[in-house]
């Protein structure tokens, strides 16, 4: 533990001097200095408490005593690499496999979600003999070079960036803002057919598909929930083309969705991916991750002739921590908590939607929920500046939330799994107040809704694409600027 404590400005100055400038902080105009955390709360240098609504890494709660104790005890005994036999490694592999379909039975332990997804690509390339990867719009799979190539969320930010000839981007299965929306009779099939078209286009160029990779629920892409049946249909098209299906559970695994332990299971029991990657919550903040695949894929990887060795992957300390995380999830029924508290949170946000014209959509599963803000419900015009203002005003009231998605207008809830009903009420109550203030400043009012048979509201247009607010008397005026912070911090941060 560091014995020296600097004042906040000194910490900022030293960070600017010694840390790479592309390593950003939250709330750059006035960043928060966090010195300790417990459960779903974080504390600054003044010991002021912040409610953490975004930290899906501290899965079972910040600094959970059982996890800390497991890591400390094992660190006092031994930490070494996996070339030595140790029971923690095999016990942990066995415990993880029990949570998955039987065919997913072989583990590779690594140290981050990026390492896991990079290894998943290597497995796919070796097993299929193909090179091409299909990814989704707005996807994010990691920060290493192989993953930046398949992460439109990242490579679209790069000046002059060009998509690799071996990477093909399919439509995001977003039924709120995507090409096929909630009024489409079968969006799962429509989006899967797009993947089939992508495959055919790749074949026309003489390319061979190695894999389709997708986050089981898109996080950085805006809390996107794929329609049920989509993954099954995509997997059929991809496997018919000789490829395999990689499910990225780095953000959403380990019971977060409530009804299931893994988010890919939301698609139904008839869907099983060929590879599953996991990270972030797996170690509750300790750097560890895992790739789990079939025996066939693993045997093929061995035939490459190259040994796979990871210095720190699967070490005794990491496995002890991983086992403790699984124990806490079970002992405290955190999956059940995600289901019940997440359902309550979604209900509260649905109630907000009924009162606030800025709320365009509420979507999510368990404690993975998105609130999409729009300036116009009919046109679904993204309320990007308003979303940024909401998260800054929440920060001032010591509630931590982030905004993401392609337009950075989706408020993201993915808190530690010990999040309570009272926490949900506090956060949503503050959002309610902030939205009321914003709508008053913008001149937005909730008009009488006409509810269609599919329960979607058709409302009178609130503003046009030029930003003109239409009052009830038919007059109009330009939006007043109420968003002082967004200009100071308009860079996207992944969380």
CA distance 233 to 9: 54
CA distance 261 to 252: 9
Question: Using an 8 Å Cβ cutoff, are 168 and 135 in contact?
Answer: yes
Question: If residue 138 lies in a helix (H) or strand (E), which one and from where to where?
Answer: none
Tokens of 320: 């002890």
Q: Taking the CB of residue 131, how many other CB atoms lie within 10 A of it? A: 17
Burial class of 159 by CB neighbour count within 10 A (0 to 12, 13 to 18, 19+):
exposed
CA distance 174 to 494: 19
Starting at the edge strand that comes first in sequence, how are the strands of the sheet with 289-293 ordered? 106-110, 289-293, 275-278, 244-248, 209-215, 132-136, 167-170
CA distance 458 to 357: 12
Encode the chain (495 residues) as per-residue pLDDT tens digits: 555 689 999 999 999 999 999 999 999 899 999 999 999 999 999 999 999 999 999 999 999 999 999 999 999 999 999 999 999 999 999 999 999 999 999 999 999 999 999 999 999 999 999 999 999 999 999 999 999 999 998 766 666 667 789 999 999 999 999 999 999 999 999 999 999 999 999 999 999 999 999 999 999 999 999 999 999 999 999 999 999 999 999 999 999 999 999 999 999 999 999 999 999 999 999 999 999 999 999 999 999 888 999 999 999 999 999 999 999 999 999 999 999 999 999 999 999 999 999 999 999 999 999 999 999 999 999 999 999 999 999 999 999 999 999 999 999 999 999 999 999 999 999 999 999 999 999 999 886 333 333 344 433 333 333 333 333 333 333 333 344 343 334 444 544
The distance in angstroms from the start CA to the end CA of the chain is 25
CA distance 175 to 213: 19
Non-local (6+) Cβ contacts of 122 within 8 A are: 301
Question: Using an 8 Å Cβ cutoff, are 335 and 185 in contact?
Answer: no
Q: Where are the alpha helices (DSSP H) in 78-160?
A: 87-98, 113-128, 145-148, 152-155
Residue the block writes with tokens 């060795």:
309
Alpha-carbon torsion (149, 152, 157, 161), positive or negative:
positive
Tokens of 77: 């005994």
Tokens of 99: 């949570």
Tokens of 212: 């389709």
Residue the block writes with tokens 């000046």:
159
CA distance 279 to 218: 15
CA distance 32 to 398: 10
CA distance 382 to 384: 6
Residue the block writes with tokens 């035939």:
303
């Amino acid at each position: 533990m560091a014995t020296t404590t600097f004042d906040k400005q000194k910490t900022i100055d030293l960070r600017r001097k010694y840390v790479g400038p592309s390593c950003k902080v939250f709330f750059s105009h006035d960043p928060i200095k966090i010195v300790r955390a417990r459960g779903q709360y974080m504390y600054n240098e003044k010991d002021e408490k912040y409610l953490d609504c975004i930290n899906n890494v501290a899965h079972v709660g910040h600094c959970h005593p059982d996890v800390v104790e497991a890591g400390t005890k094992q660190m006092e005994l031994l930490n070494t690499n996996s070339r030595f036999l140790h029971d923690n490694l095999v016990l942990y592999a066995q415990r993880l496999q029990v949570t998955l379909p039987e065919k997913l039975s072989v583990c590779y332990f690594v140290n981050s979600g990026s390492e896991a997804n990079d290894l998943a690509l290597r497995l796919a390339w070796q097993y299929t003999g193909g090179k091409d990867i299909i990814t989704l719009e707005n996807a994010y799979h990691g920060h290493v070079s192989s993953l930046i190539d398949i992460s439109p969320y990242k490579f679209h930010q790069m000046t002059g960036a060009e998509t690799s000839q071996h990477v093909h981007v399919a439509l995001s299965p977003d039924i709120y803002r995507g090409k096929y929306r909630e009024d489409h009779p079968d969006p799962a099939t429509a989006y899967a057919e797009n993947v089939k078209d992508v495959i055919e286009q790749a074949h026309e160029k003489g390319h061979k598909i190695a894999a389709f990779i997708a986050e089981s629920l898109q996080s950085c892409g805006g809390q996107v929930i794929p329609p049920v049946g989509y993954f099954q249909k995509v997997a059929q098209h991809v496997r018919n083309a000789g490829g395999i299906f990689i499910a990225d559970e780095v953000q959403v695994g380990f019971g977060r969705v409530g009804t299931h332990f893994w988010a890919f299971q939301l698609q139904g029991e008839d869907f099983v991916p060929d590879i599953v990657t996991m990270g972030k919550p797996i170690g509750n903040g300790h750097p560890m991750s895992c790739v789990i695949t079939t025996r066939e894929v693993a045997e093929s990887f061995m035939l490459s002739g190259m040994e796979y060795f990871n210095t720190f992957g699967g070490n005794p300390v990491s496995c002890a921590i991983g086992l403790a995380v699984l124990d806490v999830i079970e002992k405290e029924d955190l999956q059940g908590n995600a289901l019940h508290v997440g359902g309550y949170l979604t209900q509260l946000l649905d109630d907000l939607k009924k009162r606030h014209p800025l709320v365009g959509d509420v979507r999510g599963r368990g404690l993975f929920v998105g609130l999409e803000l729009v300036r116009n419900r009919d046109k679904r015009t993204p309320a990007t500046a308003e979303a940024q203002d909401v998260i800054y005003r929440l920060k001032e009231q010591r509630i931590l939330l982030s905004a993401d998605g392609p337009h950075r207008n989706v408020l993201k809830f993915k808190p530690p799994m010990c999040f309570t009903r009272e926490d949900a009420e506090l956060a949503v109550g503050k959002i309610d107040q902030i939205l009321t203030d914003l709508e008053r400043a913008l001149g937005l009012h909730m008009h009488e809704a006409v509810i269609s048979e599919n329960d979607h509201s058709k409302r009178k247009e609130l503003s046009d694409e030029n930003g003109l607010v239409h009052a009830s008397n038919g007059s109009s005026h330009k939006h007043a600027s109420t968003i002082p912070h967004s200009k100071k911090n308009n860079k996207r941060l992944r969380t």
